[in-house]
Structure 1
Amino acid sequence: MRDAFGSEHAVADATATGAFAAAVQALASHRPDAGAHLEAALRAAPAMTAAHALAGMGGILLAGRDHLAEAAARLQRAQESIGRSGGGTAFERALVSALDHAVAGRLRAAANVLDDFLYRDPNAFLAIKLSHALRFMTGDVDGMVSLTARLSLECERSNAGYGYLLGCHAFGLEEMGRLNEAERVGRAALNIAADDAWGLHAVAHVFETRGQNAEGSGWLETHRGVWTRCNNLSRHFAWHLALFALGRGDHDCVLDIYDREVAGDLDGDFRDFANAASMLWRLRQAGVDPGVARWQALSEVAVRHARGTTLVFGQLHFLIALLGAGRLDEAADLAEFIHENGRSTTDQANVSRNVGAELAFALVQAERGAGPQAPVGFLARRLHRLGGSHAQRDVFLQALAGMAYEAADDVGLRQVLAVRRRHKADDRPVTDWVSRTN
């Protein structure tokens, strides 16, 4: 039985299939009720393989060690249900195989499984959305765009996920620097799916990359009715709004947005914490003191959760919160933790070995007044391996540029700025640094 998003199920139960489609709709539009719809699907059809697998993938995307345990349990249930259904559909088999890789820490392999399946069935929107999310988490922009470029042509326009597919494509185009195309495709996505948060997000990134702060703020305020209904992505949109205010030099506005819309309950998704930590760090880079109390509140969350996220990207945001609060010994311990995690064979261990540990140590050394041991240009060129967006990783690029500036390392500063200028117009405090290299 196939639903409106192209998901094919072995279970022929209209109630379960409808609830599953509602979960996919919620995932596509980043609404908070995807889990409730999945549970409704499983109440109607306990053997619905895709519902078990998608619930497990939800745990993977949350990137927490406790969520990973739940994902493993969901994987076992999915494997049991697919066995009882005689092997399930090709769609279900692809989801279960991808989840198997993801639970083992092989996120890119999981995305590859989904991509291979999509060559046979380009209308399975959920596989597209999950592959895109996994590749975003692992910094594989080329993989994101090659997938969505092909499927934007091959997926049927009547598919309920087509507008959301365009939103995914727009985001990848922006990350590749194809800004005009990204803006056009992102706007087209919203014309098809008015609640497409990711297409809205992609266009916001275009304005951020160009340094169009007034236009970016206007875009987000115009569409506030869309993004405020999102799950925790709503806090990320607020972060973008604060970022535009920071670009305008309106620091009071930044702190107001931070307090009202960014720094709420930060004990949940690590992305919420990353929004908050990076915004305070950016203020500090701009010479603005956000206050001891804000840093202290962040550092308490960091102490509780720094070792609970499975992504180096998240761990580094916990680390800068500790540094901002002056908790240097705890930050150094976290840097050692990131280094030790590089000893395993997962994708993220590779990230630790290639950039994460050295960046962590460099940040700690800089806070202690010592120059980084690794060349800053080398680290800047590898930052994309952390995953996330250029806008998110810019907090680390700015930190590296600051290290080079303080060390009078003109060559290193030029190297860092060369990386940054591929995806961001010069702004403050970069314009202050540039004079050293001229």
Structure 2
Amino acid sequence: MSIDSYGLVTTTDSHEAQRAFENAVFGLAAHRPNTAAGLQKVLLADPDHVPSHALKGFANLILARSELLPTTKTALADARKALAKKKGGSTDERTLVEALEAATRGWFRHAADMLEDGFETRPATFLPFKLSHALRFMAGDQAGMLAASSRAALRLDPASKAAGFILGCHAFSLEEHGRYDEALRVGRRAVALQPDDAWGLHAVSHVFEMRGDTRPGIDWLENSRSTWSRCNNFSFHMAWHLGLLHLEGGDHERVLQIYDDEVRPQPTDDFRDMANAVSLLWRLEQSGVHVGERWAQLAEVAHGRRRDTTLVFAALHNLAAMVAAGDHRGVRELVSEIDFKAWGKGDQARVAAEIGVPMARILAGLDAPADRQSIDRMVANLPKIGGSNAQRDFFVLALAKAVGKGGDGATVSRIGRIRQRLKADDQLFQSIERSVGMRLSA
């Protein structure tokens, strides 16, 4: 048995594998593009390195692509074989593998519970902590994220390699609960301890966005560009935040430049990249900006994933792209797939039933009166869809826009009041409210 520098007990006896694994975990923490290559190095040195097989499985699972489920299952099978060869492995290794099995079956929250329960006495052990944080983020479990990060922060050794990364996650959890002063303080401390903590940088940028502190937010992101620009596609998301801040500042030309050069520099179909692009283009259009042919490229990607409802959050962004481009056949197919998803099992089936189906119908312009009557409940339940408050704000705005088209100013105002509990009033929501007023006075 050996303990890596992030506190995980493993059964490897290869120093080379241990070093390579620690580098891979650092890559995961810092959102670097070399994590997969790092895991390959580990498995070359120790083909039965249990945590590497488990991490490979989680990494594919978190991409939320239906075609990667077989790869995730293969990684799980390889991890189980490695456990057998290591005579059952360590307790830490068994916990990782058991949690991966639960997540592979679609039970993200249960998998996160297993990771936290398995490391109850060592909540600041970084890899299980980070995986649990990611699973709860995708499952929309804000309360669970904050509970876990609070436990880890209390037991944290400030001198540990993981200290800054864990505090960055804690700052984000605080921000998602609207505890902005604490989030700002903890996030700044996280980055001071670990300058490579892109998630901590990200948490602080969220605070500026939600408070409407446009200029300080732009300065924060520009001054930290040397860090987040070295990330994997997480750099696209950081640029998205920069674009949102410039949009609120009214600099539409700068936003289009950021979109082309940094938010959508590659035509990927990663759901996170699509979410960035779709929500920013939609906001630009609602702000009266002509976006040219940019929707066509997004709609083409979305059409290719019109039958994938692995993650409802992703499916709804794909739906919005096809709606914007007028892909009526693709829209009908994806709405039908989300309907079907709601009859299944697992966390995402419940999300589809409670949020996905009515939201899809409203985005597609197919909403019935019953859907309209549940608007307030939908806004309140939106966290269940996963992502951050800033990301889900796209759906809040889209709902307000859809309701406003029918001239229901009272409901738009209620949505605005709910929204203001977390986000400062902004120009885009004000323009939606004005458009309702103009319809009513016409």
The answer to which of 170-179 and 57-66 deviates more is: 57-66
Residue aligning to 2:360: 360
Paired residues of 1:377 and 1:413 also in contact (CA < 8 A): no
Q: Equivalents in 2 of 1:418, 1:118: separation in Å? A: 40
Counterpart of 2:62 in 1: which secondary structure? Answer: helix
CA shift digits 1:294-324 (9 cap, x unpaired): 1111111111123345110000000010011
Q: Equivalents in 2 of 1:309, 1:230: separation in Å? A: 27
Residue aligning to 1:208: 209
State the Cα distance separating 1:106 from its structure 2 match.
Answer: 0.6
Counterpart of 1:289 in 2: which secondary structure? Answer: coil
Q: Equivalents in 2 of 1:34, 1:372: separation in Å? A: 47
Residue aligning to 1:296: 296
Counterpart of 2:326 in 1: which secondary structure? Answer: coil
State the Cα distance separating 1:155 from its structure 2 match.
Answer: 2.8
State the Cα distance separating 1:371 from its structure 2 match.
Answer: 6.8
Residue aligning to 1:373: 371
Q: Equivalents in 1 of 2:371, 2:352: separation in Å? A: 16
Q: Equivalents in 2 of 1:30, 1:127: separation in Å? A: 16
Residue aligning to 1:53: 54
Which amino acid counterpart does residue 56 of structure 1 have in structure 2? G
Which amino acid counterpart does residue 303 of structure 1 have in structure 2? H
State the Cα distance separating 1:170 from its structure 2 match.
Answer: 0.2
Residue aligning to 2:429: 430
Q: How is 1:374-389 mapped onto 2 (pairs within 5 angstroms)? A: 374-375=372-373, 376-389=375-388
Q: How is 1:165-314 mapped onto 2 (pairs within 5 angstroms)? A: 165-291=166-292, 293-308=293-308, 310-314=310-314
Residue aligning to 2:145: 144
Which amino acid counterpart does residue 325 of structure 2 have in structure 1? A
Counterpart of 1:429 in 2: which secondary structure? Answer: helix
State the Cα distance separating 1:411 from its structure 2 match.
Answer: 3.2
Which amino acid counterpart does residue 62 of structure 1 have in structure 2? L
Residue aligning to 1:339: 339
The answer to which of 150-159 and 32-41 deviates more is: 150-159
Counterpart of 1:134 in 2: which secondary structure? Answer: helix
Residue aligning to 1:392: 391
Paired residues of 1:365 and 1:371 also in contact (CA < 8 A): no
Paired residues of 1:52 and 1:74 also in contact (CA < 8 A): yes
CA shift digits 1:37-60 (9 cap, x unpaired): 111111111111111000101011
Residues 358, 67 of structure 1: alpha-carbon distance in 2 compared, 3 angstrom cutoff: same
Q: Equivalents in 1 of 2:332, 2:203: separation in Å? A: 35
CA shift digits 1:88-138 (9 cap, x unpaired): 111101100110011111111110001101213234210110000100001
Residues 404, 244 of structure 1: alpha-carbon distance in 2 compared, 3 angstrom cutoff: same
- TM superposition outliers: structure 1 runs of 4+ over 3 Å: 370-374, 432-437
Residue aligning to 2:440: none
Q: How is 1:122-161 mapped onto 2 (pairs within 5 angstroms)? A: 122-161=123-162
Paired residues of 1:16 and 1:41 also in contact (CA < 8 A): yes
Which amino acid counterpart does residue 395 of structure 1 have in structure 2? F
Q: Equivalents in 2 of 1:82, 1:342: separation in Å? A: 36
CA shift digits 1:183-214 (9 cap, x unpaired): 10000001110100000000000000011111
Residues 79, 109 of structure 1: alpha-carbon distance in 2 compared, 3 angstrom cutoff: same
Which amino acid counterpart does residue 30 of structure 1 have in structure 2? H
CA shift digits 1:306-364 (9 cap, x unpaired): 33451100000000100111113321221111111111111101100010011001111
Q: Equivalents in 1 of 2:183, 2:24: separation in Å? A: 27
The answer to which of 322-331 and 21-30 deviates more is: 322-331
Paired residues of 1:91 and 1:124 also in contact (CA < 8 A): no
**Corresponding pairs, count:** 435
Counterpart of 1:373 in 2: which secondary structure? Answer: helix
Q: Equivalents in 2 of 1:371, 1:207: separation in Å? A: 37
Q: Equivalents in 2 of 1:372, 1:316: separation in Å? A: 20
Which amino acid counterpart does residue 251 of structure 2 have in structure 1? D
Equivalent pairs: percent with the same residue?
Answer: 42
Q: Equivalents in 2 of 1:25, 1:128: separation in Å? A: 13
TM superposition score normalised by structure 2: 0.95
Residue ranges of structure 2 left out of the alignment (5+ in a row): 438-442
Paired residues of 2:124 and 2:153 also in contact (CA < 8 A): no
Q: Equivalents in 2 of 1:202, 1:373: separation in Å? A: 33
CA shift digits 1:266-302 (9 cap, x unpaired): 33421111111111111122222212x1111111111
Q: Equivalents in 2 of 1:377, 1:294: separation in Å? A: 32
Q: Equivalents in 1 of 2:372, 2:88: separation in Å? A: 51
State the Cα distance separating 1:405 from its structure 2 match.
Answer: 1.7
Q: Equivalents in 2 of 1:89, 1:121: separation in Å? A: 15
Q: How is 1:5-24 mapped onto 2 (pairs within 5 angstroms)? A: 5-24=6-25
Which amino acid counterpart does residue 277 of structure 1 have in structure 2? V
Which amino acid counterpart does residue 262 of structure 2 have in structure 1? E
Q: Equivalents in 2 of 1:330, 1:216: separation in Å? A: 37
Which amino acid counterpart does residue 355 of structure 2 have in structure 1? V
Paired residues of 1:332 and 1:361 also in contact (CA < 8 A): no
State the Cα distance separating 1:433 from its structure 2 match.
Answer: 4.3
Q: Equivalents in 2 of 1:391, 1:123: separation in Å? A: 27
State the Cα distance separating 1:434 from its structure 2 match.
Answer: 4.5
The answer to which of 400-409 and 185-194 deviates more is: 400-409
Residue aligning to 2:406: 407
Residue ranges of structure 1 left out of the alignment (5+ in a row): none
Which amino acid counterpart does residue 384 of structure 2 have in structure 1? R
